[in-house]
Structure 1
Amino acid sequence: MAKDIIGDAFAYTKDSIAGDFMKVILLLVCSFIQGITLNLVPLLNGYVYRIYSGVRPAPEIDRWGELFVQGWKMNIVTLLYMIPAIIIAMVFGIFAIFPAAMGAFSTGDAGSILVFSEFFLGIMLTGVVILLLTLFMTMGLVRLGKTDSIGEAFNISAINDQISKGLGWLGYIGYWILLWIISLIFIAILFVLMVIPLFGWILALILLPIWNIFVARFITNIYEAGD
């Protein structure tokens, strides 16, 4: 199973760009526009949406208006999933007490330490909630791509069944850990490339949107293991 999920993701990515220089250019355009608009024009997200649908071979980059709408569906689902974490952060006043907490850490008096402890507890609890939500949200986003229904992205029962029938929760979490390890290797490669003037930076910029294809297919493979 591991070989299928990882190997297929690499093959899918390679086949999607092999001999198609224009697709690489369009991926860069989508990534650049999404970046400079701070995700308000989420064209790259829209392309990931199409990969999540399970289409093979990799979809073309066209119908830009549709890409925009699909990207915003991804944004909306992500935001809605993160609402519980945002509420917890607000309850603990993480955003409000951040400056005080940092000051408390440096002064060290009892009252200040209490402020810092509350801040630290809020950060830890929020982080745990984000991790749990992300496990469901990721499969929810794939389900969104496959059903084109925002409501289905929150069908927790169906998502749980999909994971349970496929890799199982331990297997699913294991693949997430594996993806993080691969991501760390990829980041290390980017840092090495960025040491090289100009050419290294250009190559790093090209690799970033291609990496999104790999991750999207990797996650889709995890979901489809339960089909």
Structure 2
Amino acid sequence: MEYGSMLRNSFDYTVNGLWGSWGKWLLLFISMIIFPLWLGYQWVIYKGESQLPPLDDWVEMFINGIKLFIVGLVYSIIPLIVLMVFGGAGVLMGGALESPGAGALVGLLIGLIVAFIFSLIALMALIRFARTDSFGEAFNISAIVAHIGKIGWLSYILALIILWIVSVLATIVYTIVVAIAVFILALIPVIGWLLALILAIVVAILIGPVVAVFVTRYYTLIYDSAAAPA
């Protein structure tokens, strides 16, 4: 898996699709507030087109977003149940051994591991669902696990770790820059705080769609890496 290439592809995909298209940029921000619309647009990105798709057919986007939300909700409920079951079993086991705290901790750790693995399956399931438009395929665990096997579990997890590191570094830089800008604007008498508030809103409008599209594209490339030559 070419991690650097995936990051560059996701960056180019995002910039080429949004830069200069300020109307699309604003509509994407609005769709993120009306979250089923954004999920519906994620559905379109998950299809794997080489360029950022246009924003059209809002009704279909909304419907697909609701469907994607339902699948994601089911996949989020299952790990919660797993955590409750293992956590409860750990407490009972610990109680029998007169160490409920240790038992609960062991149960929680086992539950977190299972939940983490399930979250990896869930992410690929959402993309599979968008590709097939089939609830059956969205919960075809054996096929999803086989697909992840083609990607490589270690490669998959490493790709997510790299994305997390990039996200943390970008967040640190973003926070520092915005904090400095807000501090400088706040020094302006009377209207300084108003300008700082406007800046924060504008930055949110600009950054939100960029990050969301970048991450969604990156996930799509991970999914498609299963078909890439070794």
What's the TM-score, normalizing by structure 1? 0.79
Task: Using the TM superposition, give the Cα deviation of residue 9 of structure 1 relative to its aligned residue in structure 2, in angstroms.
Answer: 0.8
Structure 1 173/19 Cα, relative in aligned 2: closer, same or farther at 3 Å? same
Residue equivalent to 2:21: 20
Question: Residue by residue, what CA displacement relative to the aligned partner does 1:53-112 show, whole Å, maximum 9, x if unpaired?
Answer: 11232112222221111111221111222233221344446xxxxxxxxxxxxxxxxxxx
Whether the 8 Å contact between 1:193 and 1:203 is mirrored in structure 2 is: no
CA distance in 2, matches of 1:45, 1:193: 30
Alignment RMSD: 2.5
What's the TM-score, normalizing by structure 2? 0.78
CA distance in 2, matches of 1:71, 1:158: 23
Residue equivalent to 2:202: 202
Whether the 8 Å contact between 2:82 and 2:115 is mirrored in structure 1 is: no
Q: Which amino acid aligns with 1:137?
A: A
Q: Which amino acid aligns with 1:202?
A: V
Residue 55, structure 1, aligned to residue 55, structure 2:
no
CA distance in 1, matches of 2:108, 2:178: 32
| Dislocated runs of 4+, deviation >6 Å | none
Residue equivalent to 1:68: 62
Q: Which amino acid aligns with 2:176?
A: V
Which moved further from structure 2: 133-142 or 190-199?
A: 190-199
Task: Using the TM superposition, give the Cα deviation of residue 19 of structure 1 relative to its aligned residue in structure 2, in angstroms.
Answer: 1.4
In the alignment, structure 1 segments of 5+ residues that lack a partner are 35-41, 94-112
Identity %: 35
Task: Using the TM superposition, give the Cα deviation of residue 145 of structure 1 relative to its aligned residue in structure 2, in angstroms.
Answer: 1.3
Q: Which amino acid aligns with 2:161?
A: I
- 1:56 partner SS: coil
Structure 1 209/130 Cα, relative in aligned 2: closer, same or farther at 3 Å? farther
User: Map of 1:21-100 to 2, 5 A cutoff?
Assistant: 21-34=22-35, 42-91=36-85, 92=87
Question: Residue by residue, what CA displacement relative to the aligned partner does 1:39-64 show, whole Å, maximum 9, x if unpaired?
Answer: xxx21111111100112321122222
In the alignment, structure 2 segments of 5+ residues that lack a partner are 89-97, 183-195
User: Map of 1:125-136 to 2, 5 A cutoff?
Assistant: 125-136=110-121
- 1:226 partner SS: helix
Whether the 8 Å contact between 1:190 and 1:204 is mirrored in structure 2 is: no
Query: How many correspondences in the alignment?
Result: 203
CA distance in 1, matches of 2:21, 2:219: 24
- 1:59 partner SS: coil
CA distance in 1, matches of 2:80, 2:211: 28
